Structure 1
Amino acid sequence: MSVPSSVSFQTLSGDFGPVLGEVARLRLSLFREFPYLYDGTEEAEAAHLQTYVQAPGALLVLARDETAGGRVVGACTAVPLVAEDADFLRAFAAAGIDPATVLYLGEALLEDEYQSRGLGGELLSQVEAHAQALGLPIVAAAMVVRSEDHPQRPRGWRSPSHLLERRGYVMHPELEITLSWQEIGESAPSSKPMRFWVKGLEG
């Protein structure tokens, strides 16, 4: 499916400050939905996004719709895995994958009405091109693990993992870590399992 002509993509590497507020807005809105059910704050978002401001080789791609006043309707972030927490590095090393060879796709965000219109594939293409430019032969993405009968799972919900799998990403059950955040209805953060999808890029 072709991307709507009104949507343009902006690729940033190194100077994210002026647009981080727009990325934080998307994260707070979209991660509040299933499967993350994230009950976040602007302060927590600012702290999280500092990883991408400070890390060498970090990438931010924005999708803007000119018919919506140039509003950011999609975004993705990526960073060399070595800039992430030690838990990430240990999981990959234990699976026999050198963390220094991996670009980590931190998130790929799209407002609901822009999904299934080709934008997700274009965001992934930008990330994969960045990995190749950095000489990193592997891209990895993580998703929270939720049960099929989770009470908050919407009827007819389709996992974003379908897009990853169409693009050649393979789920690795042995690659799993836990991250903590406060879920809607929780009084405090709790640990959630995160599982990785991995793609090796052709040279």
Structure 2
Amino acid sequence: MNIQTFVGKDIAPCIPHLARLRMTVFRAFPYLYEGSADYEETYLATYAASPDSVFVLAFEGGEIVGASTGLPMADETDEVKAPFLASGRDPAGIFYFGESVLLESYRGRGIGVRFFEEREAHARRLGRFSTLAFCAVERPPHHPARPADYVPLHAFWGRRGFVHHPELVAEFRWRDIGDAQETGKPLSFWLKDLS
């Protein structure tokens, strides 16, 4: 397993591969995401356009099997910034973790921990952020697509030093697998103080 870090536009050649990886991993619960390559490549281009963004990629035999992203929240979309602005928090001091996606067969090997460590190290090197943040989709406990053995990642995130802030909620729209139309989903935020 080879872990490499890319910054800003250096990720551009990998965007089509990352788009496919995101669509594969996010089909699973709790996201149940029916993605499109066009949307994914547009979304990832937002990160590539930020000179202070970071991509931590896991390679196996030359193939990308995992990826983790981050960028200054000031460079994120309005949907991400809205709950922070509404609560009086300045996005300029926040570094946002976009996602961590890893093929299932590679989980449980410490790669997820490494993703968090590398992104935090990048944010600290930039030297102007007091807070790390990410968000996760909220699904009802008895959602019909929830696997019987599903375990939320709350404990894992807590061990990384993140605290859940259910008062900070963004809404994103996507089409669930099997649905004809997009619907809004609430995503709540987890924060970590860098001081």
1:86 Cα shift? 2.0
Query: Structure 1 residue 165 and structure 2 residue 158: aligned?
Result: yes
Match in the other structure for 1:102: 94
| 1:123-162 map, 5 Å | 123-135=115-127, 136-162=129-155
TM-score (norm 2): 0.95
Match in the other structure for 2:62: 70
Match in the other structure for 2:172: 179
Structure 1 regions of 5+ residues with no counterpart? Answer: 1-6
1:88 to 80, 84, 102: 80
TM-score (norm 1): 0.91
105-114 or 90-99, which deviates more: 90-99
- 1:100-139, Cα deviation, whole Å (9 max, x unpaired): 1111111001111111211100010000001111121211
Distance in 1, Cα, partners of 2:155 & 2:35? 26
Match in the other structure for 1:3: none
1:61 to 56, 65, 84: 56
SS of the aligned residue for 1:75 comes to: strand
Instruction: Report the identity percentage.
Output: 40
RMSD: 1.2
1:42 to 37, 45, 54: 37
1:87 Cα shift? 3.0
Contact kept in structure 2, 1:24 and 1:42, CA below 8 Å: yes
1:11 to 5, 19, 30: 5
SS of the aligned residue for 1:131 comes to: helix
Structure 2 regions of 5+ residues with no counterpart? Answer: none
